[in-house]
């Protein structure tokens, strides 16, 4: 897609103008510590910002470094993660921290190609980490960035692919200050979703999130919370204490054991 230089210039002017008056302040925007940036980016995956703000502070106070997180027990990590959802992200963060400490001498890579080899890190997250931690002009697309470019450049299009957006992201990224440029895009994208019909519906990658209530995620989360509270509990007591059908609980327990969340002995379940 070809866009005139003037239109791109006006686009950048509008984004910076909005940001100068409306920029948001978050704890992870006050640091360049790669560890803190990693934690914030993983937490922000599929979780509302306001929920992350409180949990980020609690989590990083208890685990302030890759080393401290790598040495923590799964029970500690999952216990502190409660309220965030998608518990596997907590264990991915711990696994990532172990890799950084044990295989990378405690130093987080500054290359997206290297970062994607780590647990919990996809291409968009790798790009954002490098931009925010190292202020490098990487090119990536996430939900809010996608929303902004769809709104400005693809208003009459449908089923837009990210590979159609990427060239525009690359052409407009601020090479001197990519860190704040991406913050500006994300802030503008957050404003858009509150004021107009969501432009992301034009994306081929758009997936409407399924309701949490009644989902398998809800059942799994309830199981983990109960076992964190009791430390060790029999299946009979799990079935007694949780208001879900036994078939659903059995499926959840089997999955959690298989995925390494839980361990099972002859009589009971515990956090792995």
Residue 265 token pair: 């002995």
Q: Are residues 162 and 79 in the same domain?
A: no
Cβ neighbours, 10 Å, residue 263: 14
Catalytic residue among 41, 101, 114, 218: 41
Residue pair 99/119 in contact (Cβ under 8 Å)? The answer is yes
Triad 54, 60, 64: Cα angle to 5°: 165
How many folded domains does the chain comprise? 3
| Strand ranges, E, within 85-224 | none
Last residue of a domain, one of 99, 115, 134: 134
Q: Is 197 a member of any domain?
A: yes
Active-site annotation holds for 58: no
Q: Is 210 a member of any domain?
A: no
Q: Are residues 129 and 141 in the same domain?
A: no
Tokens 């230089």 label which residue?
A: 5
Residue 160's SS3 state is strand
Residue length, the chain? 272
CA dihedral 227→229→234→240, nearest 10 degrees, is: -100
* Domain of residue 229, CATH code: 1.10.10.10
Q: Is 105 a member of any domain?
A: yes
Last residue of a domain, one of 202, 235, 252: 202
Q: Please state whether the predicted TM-score (pTM) of the whole model is above 0.75.
A: yes
Alpha helices, H only, 116-215? 123-134, 143-153, 162-172, 178-195
The pLDDT profile of the chain, 272 residues, written as one tens digit per residue, is: 788 999 999 999 999 999 999 999 999 999 999 999 999 999 999 888 999 998 999 999 999 999 999 999 999 999 999 988 889 999 999 999 999 999 999 999 999 999 999 988 999 999 999 999 999 999 999 999 999 999 999 988 888 999 999 999 999 999 999 999 999 999 999 999 999 988 888 888 877 767 777 788 899 999 999 999 999 999 999 999 999 999 999 999 999 999 989 999 988 999 98
Pairwise CA distance, residues 228 & 178, whole Å: 41
* Side-chain-facing half-sphere of 49: CA atoms under 13 Å: 11
Q: Are residues 103 and 188 in the same domain?
A: no
Q: Is 170 a member of any domain?
A: yes
Q: Is 207 a member of any domain?
A: no
Q: Are residues 42 and 121 in the same domain?
A: yes
Cβ neighbours, 10 Å, residue 41: 21
Q: Are residues 232 and 260 in the same domain?
A: yes
Residue pair 204/160 in contact (Cβ under 8 Å)? The answer is yes
- Domain hosting residue 14, numbered range: 5-25+137-202
Q: Are residues 129 and 144 in the same domain?
A: no
Pairwise CA distance, residues 167 & 139, whole Å: 9
* Domain of residue 117, CATH code: 1.10.340.30
């Amino acid at each position: 897609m070809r866009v005139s230089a003037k239109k791109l210039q006006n686009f950048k002017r509008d984004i910076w103008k909005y940001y100068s008056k409306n920029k948001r302040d978050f704890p992870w925007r006050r640091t360049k510590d790669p560890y803190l940036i990693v934690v914030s980016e993983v937490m922000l995956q599929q979780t509302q910002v306001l929920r992350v703000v409180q949990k980020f502070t609690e989590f990083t106070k208890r685990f302030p470094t890759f080393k401290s997180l790598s040495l923590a027990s799964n029970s500690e990590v999952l216990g502190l993660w409660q309220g965030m959802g998608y518990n596997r992200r907590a264990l991915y963060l711990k696994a990532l921290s172990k890799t950084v400490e044990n295989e990378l001498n405690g130093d987080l890579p500054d290359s997206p190609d290297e970062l994607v080899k780590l647990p919990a890190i996809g291409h968009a997250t790798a790009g954002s980490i490098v931009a925010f931690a190292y202020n490098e002009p990487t090119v990536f697309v996430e939900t809010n960035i996608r929303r902004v470019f769809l709104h400005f450049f693809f208003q009459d299009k449908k089923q837009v692919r990210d590979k159609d957006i990427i060239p525009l992201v690359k052409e407009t990224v601020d090479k001197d200050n990519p860190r704040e440029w991406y913050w500006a895009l994300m802030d503008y994208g957050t404003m858009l979703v509150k004021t107009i019909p969501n432009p992301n519906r034009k994306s081929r990658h758009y997936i409407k999130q399924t309701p949490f209530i009644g989902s398998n995620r809800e059942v799994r989360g309830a199981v983990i919370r109960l076992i964190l509270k009791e430390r060790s509990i029999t299946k009979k007591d799990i079935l007694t204490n949780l208001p879900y059908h036994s078939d659903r609980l059995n499926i959840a327990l089997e999955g959690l054991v298989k995925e390494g969340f839980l361990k099972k002995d002859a009589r009971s379940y515990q956090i792995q």
